[in-house]
Amino acid sequence: MDNYHVCRLAVAPIRKEPSDKSEIVSQLLLGDRVEVLEKTEKWCLIKTHHDNYEGWMDYKQLQKISDLQFHDEKAFSNLTPFQLDNTLIASNGTKYYLSPGSTLPYFENGFCYVGDERFEVTSKPFIPSKNDFKLNVEQSAKFFENTPYLWGGRTFFGIDCSGFVQIVYKLNGIQIKRDASQQAEQGEIVDFLASALLGDLAFFDNEDGKITHVGLMLSNDKIIHSAGKVRIDPIDDQGIYNAELGKYTHKLRIIKRFV
């Protein structure tokens, strides 16, 4: 079975069940690689290469690639930068508008390739480095400020809390898992909120003790997170305080450091 594929659209939904009515659990961005585990006529069960996330996709939104291409990490290292205009021009002249942090496979001399299809890249791609994490992470996170909250979202047209921190980290050269509960199992524990630094991730739980929310610390008393929209709120030992609502909205559970 030819089970290696790459996303050929700017953004494509990953669903819980093989149906257009099923909830979106995540999204693929252009250039994201997947392994196809199962296939029906229209739908396929996929596992993402970047975070081992499983879900169902419309097979037409994928492009088959070889085993060799799938495992060629260097070919998938260029990303679209922090700007609104990340346009790709297909060979037939039509355009694709990409969100920041999309992957540009086999980028060279102003072109990238998705399978055999060649695209002209109008923006200047970059290869992220975690060496500059502290320098760039705040600016990266603030780029998404006011992006609407969208369950399963990973773009600046709609993003969820864990998708937000995942893409900000990706743009700074760090790969983390997809969901807040999975991300909370990674990184090193920061013992006290007072010790939190720029770029640390704070996790929040519900009444049942399940981790349901994550945000990125801007300092030890300020957090940027996706709740309604990507917003900056004060945080203390109790959790996130929303001044607009005049109440605490998320209960702090744990802080983790990744860099």
Strand partners, 219: 222
Whole-number CA gyration radius for the chain: 19
213 is catalytic: yes
Residue 207 C-alpha from the chain's centroid: 27
Whether 5 sits among the annotated catalytic residues: the reply is: no
CB atoms within 10 A of CB 104: 26
* Beta bridge partners of residue 241, listed in sequence order: 248
Catalytic residue among 5, 49, 50, 213: 213
Mark whether 225 is an active-site residue.
yes
Amino acid identity at 18: P
Amino acid identity of residue 144, one-letter, is F
Q: DSSP string spanning 99-124?
A: PTT-B-TT-BTTEEEETTEEEEE-S-
Active-site amino acid positions: 161, 213, 225
